[in-house]
Each structure stands twice: as C-alpha cells, then as structure tokens.
Structure 1
Amino acid sequence: MNLYRIRFQTSELQPPPYAHAIELKLELSREKIKYEFELSYLDRDQLTESEILEEGFSLDESVHLRGALGTNWVDFLQNLLKKTEKTFPTEIEESQDYWEVMHENEAFYPKNSGLWKCFVEEFHQAALEQNSLERPLEVQVWRVEPAQTTKYRFLGSFEKREFKLTANNKVVNNFDFGKLNNFLKDYYSGDFIFEKAFESTPKKAGLHVEYGDGMWFLLGEALLVKPSKIISWIESHP
C-alpha cells in the first residue's frame, strides 16, 4: 500500500484561537485517495468563550473526517510530490510552521511548504464537502438589461476539483481549478452594503451578485468593487 502521513502545526508564535494542528493519513492508489483528516485547535483553554466567539470562531470546530477522493486529487498530490524537495532539519525557528510528511520509513520537511499548506487547506475543504458539512461554492450573477436577463452561475467543488461557469443553465466555461482562488479574491474583495441588499428577484438594470444565501447585491449600490473584477469573469467564455 502507498501510505502517507502528513502532520502540520502552526508556529509557536500563532496564538489561540488560531493555533491548530492537522494530521492527514492517506492511502494512495491510481483511482482514489482514502483519507482520515483530523483538525484540532490548540490552547483554547487559555481563552474565555466570549474571546473565542469574538474572533469569529465557534466553540468547537475540531473535526475528524474519513472518506475517499477521486483521480483529480490523485493527480494533484502526485504532481505536488514530484516538485517537492525534501529537507531534514533538526530544529526549526519558532516563527516557522511545523511539517512532517512521512512515506514508508522516511519523514521529511517539504521545502515548498507554501504549496503543501495550500494542499492541506484545499483537502480540508474537500473533506468538509464530501461529509456534507459544507456546500460546494455557488455564486450567481444576473445581468439585467431592458431586453433580457442573463443568469450566470459560478460552481466550484473542492471535492471534485472543478470550477465552471454556466449561462442560463448551459456550461460555457470549465476553468482550471487553480483559478478559483483568484475568483474568490475578486468576488469577495469589495465593500458590502448589507442594508441595500435584497432577497427578491432582481429587476433593476445592472449586475446583481448572490453568494449562496439568497441576498442580492447590485454592483455599484450594494456591492462596491471595481466593475472589471466582476465583469471579466462572466465575459471569460468563448
């Protein structure tokens, strides 16, 4: 069996409630990755419940998940392993995160730890989706014009490593999954004027954006962001 164990812990300088540790056990085959994913938050006993809640956390966010992900994840992990340089430090700085990737009888610290952190974060999201703890991404954009309304939907799945755009329920673009983070930065970087958002079907001319909670934000009124950040994505299809 092709077994891996990945252990990660935030640096000693990371305070609670943000400090956490992750252990990921993987069984890799050609068709799938069987996994056991465990996330534990550290040193929260040093804080009061209100201090944890004030930072935007809930009181118990530790998770222990099991499942299996498909070939897209197999390919992603294999490509990451190919471009990983192994290092074997005897100690690390207190400002450094702790890493240990174990395969067979060898344990190493990956030099490209930033890419491994992205891998673990995306794997976490995929496991949450697969275990029905979070829904896949869905963002709607309606372009309301006098003659017609075009209904766009951006659909992103970490479990399947898919990111696509539909227009009036027809797929018009299958993006490279790696572009999803850029999309999220563009679509969530604006100022949201919640008192101007609404739940009813958009009718006013313009671009209306909905983020999965039923609330619509009209670009330029309820959503203040550079228009090109919204428009460039819906005009990216052939």
Structure 2
Amino acid sequence: MTLTKSTFTGLVLEYDSGIVPPPYSHVFRLALDWSKGDMIADLVLHYTEREDLSEEEILDEGFTLNDDYNYQGPLNSVWIKPLQQLYEKTRWTNKDIEEGGITVTPLEKGKDEGVKIPSDQEEWQLMAQDLIQAIYETVKKEAPLKVNYRSVQGDEIIDCSLTVHFSNREVIFEIAGKSRQINWEYAIQLMKIVFTPDYHYELAKEEAGKKRGAYIDCGDGFWHELGKGVVNIDPSFDAVSKIRKGFDELISE
C-alpha cells in the first residue's frame, strides 16, 4: 500500500548516530501522531557509550552529565504539512544503515505501516533535529535561536536581528524598532550558512564594532567581524559573503 499525506496520520522517526564517538553518540525515537487533528509528540533521546568517559571529558565537550531527555505532549500542528510534504517527495532505499542513520515509519490510524529508509538521510535528520528543537522550545528547555547583525557603512550603523522560533516555525526579523515575519526556508538556509565558517573566539568582542564592516553575534553574546574573526573553511564556498548578502537583502526589503 502506498500512503499519501491524506492517508497516514503519524510518523515514527528513529535515529542512531552509528560510528560517532561518545559523548556525541546517541539514539532517539520520535513518534508524531496527528490522527485527532492536533500534533502529539513522544520523544525518547539517549546518549550512548559514556560509561568509559570521565565527567571532565563529557563536560569539556559542552555536554552535561545527563543529556538524556524524554517528552510526551503537544507540538504545534504547523509541523504536520512540512512532514507530509517531505514524506511525499522522499525516495526510499533498500540499503542498510549499519553505520548510523534515520528510519521513517508511517502510521495509519495508529497502525505501523513498516519501516522505510530514506535515500536523503540528511534532509530527514535535519527535520528531526528541527522537531526536537521545537520540543525544547515548547517546554522552555531552550530559548529560540537569535542572531544579531550589524552593518557599518561610513557613518551609518544598521543593527538588526533574526529570531528563529522552531516551536511554531516562525522567523522574526527586527530592525529599527520594527519587526516582520520572514520566509522559514530562507531563514533556515541563512542560518545554515551562518554556522558554516570558522569563528575565531580569540578575536571576538563583547560589543559590536563601529568601524566599517559587518559584525555578527550568534546568540552567545560575542561579536565577530566577518572576514577577520569569521573566515571561510572551504575556499570553494564563500560563506562569509553569503552571510553578508543574506542579511543585506533582509535590511534592504
């Protein structure tokens, strides 16, 4: 039976990080059910193979001593349509994922319709990460992602910010005391580019620069100058220029 978005009423996403070493290695099961209209999420997230690591080794990587997380409750139904659209366009494969990956199980009226392996692993893994982030925001475990940007041209200083609300798939752009909602996909692509280059924290400042240039704060309170404190990793991909272009387009709208 081929399920379309009109017939299946839920999905189960299961992920294993595979050969990734601890403390990063983890598994999760995320069940999503909208059979009654609203979205209900059931998440079980577990970090694996940490038994042989010292507390210091775990903490030094930016983790805590208990990063496992369980959640069962509502999630904004705005996520239903993107899940349906991704499912419908996905090509499936019979290849095994022994070294880690994600599987998708559609549900029809609560009935398991069989495990599927998406060919485009990255797209489904990103979707799952977005959904988990949405859960974290919903329960106030984490705040929305906010990136601040400053453009200095001559005597003109332009400050703006982009706040990504995963909980309801809204992105708010603020400039000169005004705010507007912008396209989700545009913002997510821009955020991916923002986190692509190398950030040199030894050059970071606690305040944005006032000399000609562009400056960015990725939400941790440290300002980096594009082209100096933020540099491209891959010479074939000019992420720094793309960051400038993305924010300049938002500023000029």
- Seen in structure 2, the aligned counterparts of structure 1 residues 5 and 171 have a Cα distance that, compared at 3 Å, is same
Task: Answer yes or no: is the 8 Å Cα contact 2:11–2:104 preserved in 1.
Answer: no
Q: What CA RMSD, in Å, does the superposition of the two structures yield over aligned residues? A: 3.0
Query: Equivalent residues in 2 for 1:1-238 (5 A)?
Result: 2-11=9-18, 13-29=19-35, 32-84=38-90, 92=96, 94-97=98-101, 99=103, 101-103=105-107, 104-112=111-119, 114=121, 115-171=123-179, 174-175=182-183, 177-200=184-207, 202-225=209-232, 227-237=240-250, 238=253
Deviates more, 1:151-160 or 1:195-204: 195-204
- Seen in structure 2, the aligned counterparts of structure 1 residues 96 and 196 have a Cα distance that, compared at 3 Å, is closer
- Seen in structure 2, the aligned counterparts of structure 1 residues 15 and 70 have a Cα distance that, compared at 3 Å, is same
- Seen in structure 2, the aligned counterparts of structure 1 residues 46 and 196 have a Cα distance that, compared at 3 Å, is closer
Deviates more, 1:73-82 or 1:161-170: 161-170
Q: For the residues of structure 1 that align with 2:219 and 2:25, how far apart are their CA atoms?
A: 29
- Could you list the per-position Cα deviations for residues 72-107 of structure 1 after superposition, in whole angstroms to 9, with x for gaps in the alignment? 2011112123234566x6x93532436351521422
Post-superposition, which runs of at least 4 consecutive aligned residues in structure 1 deviate over 6 A? Answer: none
Task: Answer yes or no: is the 8 Å Cα contact 1:65–1:131 preserved in 2.
Answer: no
- Seen in structure 2, the aligned counterparts of structure 1 residues 21 and 167 have a Cα distance that, compared at 3 Å, is same
Q: For the residues of structure 1 that align with 2:23 and 2:35, how far apart are their CA atoms?
A: 36
Q: Which amino acid aligns with 1:106?
A: E
Task: Answer yes or no: is the 8 Å Cα contact 1:33–1:69 preserved in 2.
Answer: yes
Deviates more, 1:200-209 or 1:19-28: 200-209
Q: Which amino acid aligns with 1:132?
A: K
Q: Which amino acid aligns with 1:57?
A: F
Scaled by the length of structure 1, the TM-score of the pair is 0.81
Q: For the residues of structure 2 that align with 1:97 and 1:206, how far apart are their CA atoms?
A: 41
SS, match of residue 249 in structure 2: coil
State the Cα distance separating 1:121 from its structure 2 match. 1.2
Share of identical aligned residues, percent? 26
Q: How many correspondences in the alignment? A: 234
State the Cα distance separating 1:67 from its structure 2 match. 3.2
- Could you list the per-position Cα deviations for residues 92-145 of structure 1 after superposition, in whole angstroms to 9, with x for gaps in the alignment? 353243635152142222334513222211111111111111111111112234
Deviates more, 1:140-149 or 1:39-48: 140-149
Task: Answer yes or no: is the 8 Å Cα contact 1:36–1:65 preserved in 2.
Answer: yes
SS, match of residue 79 in structure 1: helix
Task: Answer yes or no: is the 8 Å Cα contact 1:86–1:108 preserved in 2.
Answer: no
